[in-house]
Amino acid sequence: MTSTTQGSAQTTPARPWLLHYPKNVVWDQTFKAEPLYELLDAAARKSGGLTCTNFLGRKMTYGEIARASEKVAAGLQKIGVKKGTKVGLFLPNCPTFIIYYFGILKAGGVVVNYNPLYTLEELSFQVEDSETELMVTLDLKLLFDKIEALLANGVLKKAVVCPFPSLLPGAKSVLFKLVKGKELARPMSSAQKKNIVLEGDLISGKSERTPVPIDPYNDIAVLQYTGGTTGTPKGAMLTHANAYINVMQVLAWAPDLIYGQERMMGVLPFFHVFAMTVVMNVGIAKAAEIIIMPRFVLDDALKLIDKTKPTLMPGVPTLFNAMINHPKVKSFDLSSLKFCLSGGAPLPLEVKKGFEALSGAKVVEGYGLSETAPVATANPLNGPIKDRSIGLPLPATIVSLRALEDLAQEVPQGEKGEICVFGPQVMKGYWNKPEETANQFTPDGYLRTGDVARCDESGFFYIEDRIKDLIICSGYNVYPRRVEDAIYTHPAVEEVTVIGVPDKYRGEAPKAFIKLRGGQTATAAQILQHLQSKLSKIELPSEIEFRDALPKTMIGKLSKKELKAEETQRQSGI
């Protein structure tokens, strides 16, 4: 399957959204792709003295971040990174993430994003599948210990370790070493030190990077792992053009953002495709001050908004919901916020209205996926929006609803169909998976999303159902199959079925139904204890229910349908 980033779709579906498109946005505009690192270099050339990052009180300018990325790029090339080398980022939100993200790209490498909460098992799979040769992390034991284990197991070849205290303001840096020294690793005391490069050594010397020619439409910038429509993680190959143009599409959708004057709240994790594009890359493209939180803590987030006065805050519904329900939320000033883009999960209407009333900001819902870099649709920032809608297609994006029984056929207006997307932000394909790539596209080149929607007479789209059994928990994809496989490793478990159930805080959460082996016993607490090392926190079941028997289909397969129906009845009080 070839990339859908160029050319035009063979089929031209109806485009009802053009009747109600925002007046100040041109849908059929074209975008010129650049190497992705040009976002940072352009901001540094034009606004080098403006603040780029504000991390726990320490600020760095665009000029400083760009120069640091050049040094990193030269250092990476010195230790063997060349065009196409996969380099992993195993980092929380911090300036190091931004510096190395662009440094890797400038060296010609491919960024592979890793969730710092991944278990060793999850990390090992992704390192091997992506062919990641080098991993970048911090000297925090929480992170370094996992990377050390990967090196010891021979899964990973080499790691670059960066000092966390140096990211802090002077006094805080000294205090951290004194008070929290036990949280720091000592990489050079590790048995794996021969495979470890300290950042200080990486960037020492006066060498300059060797420019690497980039073909934006074909060269991969980022491998973004996703389960797609199955539970097996796959690397979505996002080209420089995919990622760069999606930033330009978002900016075209938001013409009222003022260059050099916005402050972006960076509370979502940069390793997630939503934050990578809409927080980090959009922020940099607008020379915004990015206010970085290493992890979301509700009290700290509210204090930071009150203190730093951000104007933009992309978030997931659970974040907005948590803020609304904070007992002392009215003691914090949130009035600096102008726009909040909600993504990652359906936005409940009461959450949208509640946060708008609280902050005075406009909360708009968008839609996308890793395979679309990620934004495909959004509600207008100005003008009428539709409640519970995922909005209209972004500029240069076509959304076509296809019949579930015949993907070549577009459904009539108002009827349900699978969302299929065509546009310059659509991935090149899945890394090393040609068959799955082919299955992910329609015969005429549209990306299948696995989501079912309908389109109203104004061109606004509404998600109705999911083809896949995906559970969206706090904006993250949780795959029932993965949770089931982990539960099956408990010796007392005979059968298990996992479904998503409504959760007031997380939107959805996994619930496990378990049948125990004859003569065996186990409690919910024991099952959860068994899963601690096998699943991330977000994947752990919120409920475990034991049954004498689980529903099955006529051919004996475990069936989720009956359990979902029971849960729906229980939730509605029927």
- Cβ atoms of residues 24 and 461 within 8 Å: no
Question: Is the pLDDT score of 501 beyond 60?
Answer: yes
Q: Which CATH architecture has domain 16-35+240-467?
A: 3-Layer(aba) Sandwich (3.40)
Q: Report strand pairing: 417-422 vs 447-455.
A: antiparallel
Task: Specify whether the backbone of 344 is left (phi greater than 0), alpha (psi in -120 to 50) or beta.
Answer: left
How many Cβ atoms sit within 10 Å of the Cβ of residue 203?
21
Q: Report strand pairing: 362-368 vs 392-393.
A: unpaired
Q: Any idea which residue has 């976002």 for tokens?
A: 39
| pLDDT at residue number 7 | 39
Whether a cis peptide bond, with omega within 30° of 0, leads into 434 is no
Instruction: Find how far residue 215's CA is from the centre of its chain.
Output: 25
pLDDT digits 0-9 by tens, 27-85? 999 999 999 999 999 999 999 999 999 999 999 999 999 999 999 999 999 999 999 99
126: phi then psi, degrees, rounded to nearest 5: -70, -40
Q: Report strand pairing: 543-546 vs 476-478.
A: unpaired
pLDDT digits 0-9 by tens, 374-416? 999 999 998 788 888 999 999 999 999 999 889 999 999 999 8
| pLDDT at residue number 555 | 47
pLDDT digits 0-9 by tens, 328-376? 999 999 999 999 999 887 788 888 999 999 999 999 999 999 999 999 9
DSSP annotation of 315 reads B
User: What is the CATH topology of the domain spanning 60-213?
Assistant: Rossmann fold (3.40.50)
Indicate the CATH number for domain 471-572.
Answer: 3.30.300.30
User: pTM of the full predicted structure?
Assistant: 0.86
| pLDDT at residue number 2 | 34
Equal CATH topology for 16-35+240-467 and 60-213 = yes
Q: Any idea which residue has 């609803």 for tokens?
A: 401
Sketch the domain layout of the chain as residue ranges.
Answer: 16-35+240-467, 60-213, 471-572
